[in-house]
């Protein structure tokens, strides 16, 4: 047992210096999402047609594959941060919270890797008909 007072236990330890990290990451990925999704929406509006061949050739270009991969990473990071807060706000049982958080991480990481792989495969091996 620690016989010191509550204030005595924390005094002098300082902050962890990570207090604003989650908040700041959420804003930075938000700004990234504004830029990247605007690029996607404008690209779609300017698309000559929506045949699979046209889209595959479009997606295989480096100038499209790179922003698409960036968008996937950015969107899934932002979603992870956002859903984390939703879980923290509504799931109060510690065990359920741990499980929900683990599922969330599996979901976003697996989805992002899947999306990156799809785009990279098209870009590296060319568009299949």
What is the binding site for another protein (CB under 8 A)? 27, 30-31, 33-34, 37, 45, 50, 52-53, 55-56, 59, 68, 72, 75-76, 79, 82-83, 86, 111, 114-115, 118-119, 121-122, 128-129
Of the pair 106, 114, the CB lying nearest another protein is at 114
Contacts of 24 (CB under 8 A, 6+ apart): none
Q: Is 25 exposed, middle or buried (0-12, 13-18, 19+ CB in 10 A)?
A: middle
Residue 51 Cβ vs another protein, minimum distance, rounded to whole Å: 8
Contact, 76 vs 112, CB < 8 A?
yes
Closest distance of CB 95 from another protein, Å: 19
Nearer to another protein, 11 or 117 (CB): 117
Element (H, E) at 61: none
Nearest to 116 by CA among 56, 68, 54: 68
| Pick 10 or 113: Cβ nearer another protein | 113
């Amino acid at each position: 047992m620690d016989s010191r007072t509550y204030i005595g236990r924390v005094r002098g330890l300082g902050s962890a210096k990570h207090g604003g990290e989650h908040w700041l990451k959420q804003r930075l990925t938000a700004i990234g999402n504004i830029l990247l999704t605007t690029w996607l929406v404008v690209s779609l509006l300017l698309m000559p047609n929506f045949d699979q061949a046209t889209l595959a050739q479009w997606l295989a270009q480096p100038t499209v594959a790179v922003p698409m991969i960036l968008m996937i990473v950015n969107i899934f990071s932002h979603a992870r941060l956002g859903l984390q807060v939703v879980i923290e706000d509504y799931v109060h049982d510690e065990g359920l919270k741990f499980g929900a958080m683990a599922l969330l991480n599996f979901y976003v990481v697996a989805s992002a890797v899947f999306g990156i792989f799809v785009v990279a495969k098209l870009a590296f091996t060319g568009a299949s008909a």
